[in-house]
Amino acid sequence: MGLSADNNPLINDAIYKAASGRPTNAKITSSTENGSSATVRVTFQMDGESQDATLQLTKKGTDWLIIDHWQVDDSDLASTLSVSVPSSGGTRDLLVNGQAAGTVDPSGTTTLAALPGQYKVAIGGTELFNEESEDWNSIPGAYVNSVSFNGEISTQFQQKVTQAVHDKLTACTTSRSSDCPYVFTNSSYSNFKITTQPTISVSTSYFGSGFRYSTTSYGSVNYTYTYYDGTTTTDDSLLYPYGSVTVNGNSVTVTFG
């Protein structure tokens, strides 16, 4: 696995300096040089256990005719980290040990190489989603380790969905749209007045599929009922909407049902 910092944001002094559990007691056990190439075997300790790795090097130049400069081109010293986020949350900033390490696109996964050690991997927060983090151990020779974030919603997300549901219910008192709760579409009912708005809770449907909302405390609407003979009376009906939530940037849209 290549260890160039050019295409591996985690091969970074600031990020690796903040990693814990890094190798100790590193020793070269053997080296073989063939022209401008070399193979080096090393051993080291991690978490009290002995580890070994092979490094493939290429000579990049010589100073003063005696000091060679080598670049590590490939090695089983590093392991691969694969990070994914739910599609509903959009592109998120990737932070490793508190340092910027690019972004994670929800259309796929972000794959990075890292030197041995313990890292804190996080995705940055937005207006609608909280920052999330997980601890990850880079173990030499491990090919792919996955960290999947679920899209933890923020307080602002909850508030925006609640307001959107309340606004939609209020609109139903005059629009009587076919997608409104039944009480608003019954032709015998009129003069609606919402007396109590319902309490709304938002949850993740399942990974990558969006969000749902439900009622945790009923609301109430007062209305006039017109009998067949034209006489009227007033009554109340409970409101307990539920449905889906669509996210577009920092905006949310709700549907009933």
122's CB contacts (< 8 A; 6+ apart) are 94, 95, 96, 131, 132, 133, 134
Q: Is residue 167 classed as helix, strand or coil in its secondary structure?
A: helix
168's CB contacts (< 8 A; 6+ apart) are 180, 241, 254, 256
Give the pTM. 0.75
Looking at residue 7, its pLDDT comes to 63
Looking at residue 139, its pLDDT comes to 82
Specify the higher pLDDT residue, 5 or 38.
38
- Count other C-beta atoms under 10 Å from residue 151's C-beta: 24
pLDDT in tens, 107-160: 878 888 888 999 999 999 999 999 999 999 888 766 667 898 888 899 999 999
Looking at residue 220, its pLDDT comes to 98
Checking if the pLDDT of 60 tops 90, the result is no
Looking at residue 141, its pLDDT comes to 67
C-alpha–C-alpha distance, residues 187 and 194, integer Å: 18
pLDDT in tens, 195-221: 999 999 998 764 445 789 999 999 999
Looking at residue 208, its pLDDT comes to 47
Percent of the chain topping pLDDT 90: 59
Q: Is residue 131 classed as helix, strand or coil in its secondary structure?
A: coil
77's CB contacts (< 8 A; 6+ apart) are 3, 42, 53, 55, 115, 116, 140
pLDDT in tens, 14-40: 999 999 999 999 999 999 988 889 999
Mean pLDDT of the residues in the chain: 89
Checking if the pLDDT of 1 tops 60, the result is no
Checking if the pLDDT of 4 tops 60, the result is no
C-alpha–C-alpha distance, residues 46 and 63, integer Å: 34
Q: Is the dihedral of CA 24, 25, 29, 30 positive or negative?
A: positive
C-alpha–C-alpha distance, residues 54 and 84, integer Å: 29
CA distances from 190 to 167, 203, 219, 221, 227 (A): 18, 33, 18, 11, 12
Looking at residue 9, its pLDDT comes to 84
Looking at residue 48, its pLDDT comes to 84
